[in-house]
Amino acid sequence: MNQNEISSAVVIGAGPVGLSAAAHLLARNIQPIVIEKGSAVGSAISQWGHIRVFSPWKYVIDQQLRVILENNGWQAPDPEGLPTGHDIVEQYLQPAASTPELASAIKLQTEVIAVSKHTHAKSFSKERDQALFTVHIKHSDGTTEVILTQAVIDASGTWSNPNPIGLDGLPVPGEIINKDAIWYGLPDVVGRNKVDYAGKRVLVLGGGHSAINIILELLKLQKRYPETQAVWGLRTNHLEKLLGGGINDELPARQELGSAAKSAVDNGQLDLLAPFAIEKITHTSSGLAISATVAGQVQFIEVDRIVVAAGFRPDLSILRELRLDLDSIVEAPAALAPLIDPNLHSCGTVPPHGYRELAHPDKHFFIVGMKAYGRAPTFLMLTGYEQVRSIAAKLAGDEEAATRVELVLPKTGVCSSESNELDCCHSNTISNEASCCG
């Protein structure tokens, strides 16, 4: 597309919420362009594709995207089945991206490097609302291009921007220089990444279900490679909130995961350190020497690998020239932030919401999906689908549909948190986007 051509809407990211946005826009006769920096749709999910999510298929599939798929002969998986990340990509996202309706709209291996307003820097106000957006993109060959568009929906997720180790939100001394021995996110410890973990001493940081997944996989690896050691470091000592399950949780797979981890702790299968804070990492001839505070006491431990499952944060750098209304704590849209602040809520208490909670001073720009939650955890895919349904209706001028709530969320009572300790698998894991916090 040349700069003098105008798009109706640009969607950033071709994960579940991004493709859902495209489907809802098409249903409203709004032609989208979907920009995806990966080589395929769902590229972030593919990085944790070995993980089985907590939500069954009935909570994974967007209804408008289902219409497009079924019109092209697609058969939905068992609604009660629990998919892996690879299942979501191969059985849902890739078929959707291959339909005639969506195939021509998706630009792969194309990265959005900035979004602004045409001829309007952030500081320039005159006739700003009437100015189109400029979406600056970079192709795989390094060439750049500018797309003019009437609306932008940022569904790029947070997967590529994990939180560092430090409790102050910054890397601890020695973290960056030893990054080759540190994995952020969800390694496949019994599969393609096994060589890095079999027979090794592994420290897992994080108090969410991502961390539990990794711990349980390490214990499986330990059965085949007895020298494998797992150490679990929790930033807080609120283990009972994570492992206690909760009879009101309608995602039973997540409750079962917590129960399995509790059993491993009770049986002494892994070392649990809580509350745990790393102060410094030093490379030695025999591994990584870690200076840490455990329950208020300074301790020194040595491991071979560190897995950081401490959640993600939004990358807002591409949006610097836009006028955004973001909460200073959660980095979510200001109207949404009080509903999702993990200091106050669990994922079971977040109500469905739409364009009004996601609006910014620059009209027709929206952040959706996991990125809309900023630093808050426990995002559900269904929440993202409701977000983009409302936004598409708003862009089409259907105010009644835009303000109507069309979603009932499952109760997820185990997700309450008093810190960033409960991470989301990312992309919601489990996200660019998985189903619920992982």
Helix (H) or strand (E) holding 70: helix 63-71
Tokens linked to 159: 């997967």
Query: Considering Cα of 372, then 163, then 236, then 304, what sign does the dihedral take?
Result: positive
CA separation for the pair 376, 35 (Å, rounded): 25
Query: Which pLDDT does position 187 carry in this prediction?
Result: 96
- Determine the Cα angle at 426 with ends 152 and 253, to 5°: 130
Query: Which pLDDT does position 243 carry in this prediction?
Result: 57
CA separation for the pair 425, 80 (Å, rounded): 21
Neighbours of 296 (CB within 10 A): 7
CA separation for the pair 132, 147 (Å, rounded): 10
Q: Do domains 6-160+312-403 and 179-308 have the same CATH topology?
A: yes
Query: Which pLDDT does position 252 carry in this prediction?
Result: 55
Query: Which pLDDT does position 435 carry in this prediction?
Result: 36
Q: Which CATH number fits domain 179-308: 3.30.70.3450, 3.40.50.12280, 3.50.50.60, 3.40.1710.10?
A: 3.50.50.60
Q: Which residues contact 333 (CB under 8 A, 6 or more apart)?
A: 324, 325, 326, 327, 357, 358, 359, 360, 367, 372
Query: What letter represents residue 291's amino acid?
Result: S
Q: Could you state, in order of their start, the residue ranges of all structural domains in the chain?
A: 6-160+312-403, 179-308
Neighbours of 176 (CB within 10 A): 11
CA separation for the pair 40, 135 (Å, rounded): 20
Region 6-160+312-403: CATH code: 3.50.50.60
Q: How far is CA 4 from CA 33, 148, 222, in A?
A: 15, 7, 60
DSSP 211-276: HHHHHHHHHHHHHHSTT-EEEEE-SSS-HHHHHS--TT-S-HHHHHHHHHHHHHHHTTSSEEE-SE
pLDDT 10s per residue in the chain (438 long)? 444 456 799 999 999 999 999 999 999 999 999 999 999 999 999 999 999 888 899 999 999 999 999 999 999 999 999 999 999 999 999 999 999 999 999 999 999 999 999 999 999 999 999 999 999 999 999 999 999 999 999 999 999 999 999 999 999 999 999 999 999 999 999 999 999 999 999 999 998 778 888 988 999 999 999 999 999 998 876 666 555 544 334 445 555 666 776 777 777 777 889 899 999 999 999 999 999 999 899 999 999 999 999 999 999 999 999 999 999 999 999 999 998 887 776 545 567 899 999 999 999 999 999 999 999 877 889 999 999 999 999 999 999 999 998 877 665 543 333 333 333 333 333 333 333 332
Coil, strand or helix at 400: helix
* Tally: H helices and E strands in the chain: 13, 17
